[in-house]
Amino acid sequence: MLLSESTQYIKRIKILKEQIPSYSKYPFDLPIVQALDELPLHPQVTYLIGENGMGKSTLIEAIAIAYGFNPEGGSLNFNFSTYDSHSPLEQYLRLIKGVHKPRDGFFLRAESYYNVASNIEELDLDPTAGPKVINQFGGVSLHEQSHGESFFATFLNRFRGQGIYLLDEPEAALSPLRQLSMLSRMHELVEQDSQFIIATHSPLLMAYPHSTIYEFSEDGIKESTLEDTNHYLLFKQFFDDKERLLHHLFV
């Protein structure tokens, strides 16, 4: 059963612009913050895309914190801090939620996933803590797998369905084949009443059909199709005429 506009977990994101003290300081000087007032979310999958520096990761971090996730990632039960570096944007963000609550959730961000894996190992050192946390991730230490293998183990084992899943550049650890496998796993979870919000640069991951793509630029925000995104067009230009593009790059 797919989530709909009446059953999705997060319906919209609203920036409380009247409370922002100044647009000259980070994170309020980011193009994504300045362009955004209110953002409707797709019931199944919403993509946030754009060039580096637009503020995609900052926004998805703020959404995660506002929802109750740990800034460095993990499930709603994770509560650790390796380095306090998150922005205060969540204080100026309002999540318009639906009446239905998810049974599962996870915030996965590529840059701090090592810290999540380390925290799991620390939790499992406590003999009085009950079942080992790593069992939820497939039973094999995430540090004993490659970065991509540990990411994919999380998708396969820890994401249980009926959940809200926030992913920040998950393609950073995944090969193209694994990215296609991730699309397949996403589809399974979407069919199990799950909602995704994903910041990505990957045209492969953007290909999920039941989705909305928001493309951010210095000119603002626009809803786009995969084939109209700058990411897709650049890849297509490269593979359609690789020699010509390389010639212009190297002269």
**pTM for this entry:** 0.92
Would 237 be classed as within a structural domain?
A: no
Average pLDDT in the 43-70 region? 94
- pLDDT, tens digit, for every residue of 185-239? 999 999 999 999 999 999 999 999 999 999 999 888 999 999 999 999 999 999 9
Instruction: Identify the residue with better confidence: 69 or 118.
Output: 69
CB 137 within 8 A of CB 158: yes
Would 16 be classed as within a structural domain?
A: yes
Q: Does the pLDDT at position 147 exceed 80?
A: no
Would 132 be classed as within a structural domain?
A: yes
Q: Calculate what percentage of the chain has a pLDDT beyond 70.
A: 96
CB atoms inside a 10 Å sphere around CB 40? 13
Would 240 be classed as within a structural domain?
A: no
Name the residue range of residue 111's domain.
10-226
Q: How many distinct structural domains can be found in the chain?
A: 1
- pLDDT, tens digit, for every residue of 97-110? 999 999 999 999 87
pLDDT band at 175 (very low <50, low <70, confident <90, very high): very high
Mean pLDDT estimate for the chain: 89
Would 202 be classed as within a structural domain?
A: yes
Would 71 be classed as within a structural domain?
A: yes
Q: So what's the pLDDT on residue 71?
A: 85
Q: Nearest-CA neighbor of 74 among 156, 179, 159?
A: 159
Would 149 be classed as within a structural domain?
A: yes
Q: Does the pLDDT at position 1 exceed 80?
A: no
What is the CATH number for 37? Answer: 3.40.50.300
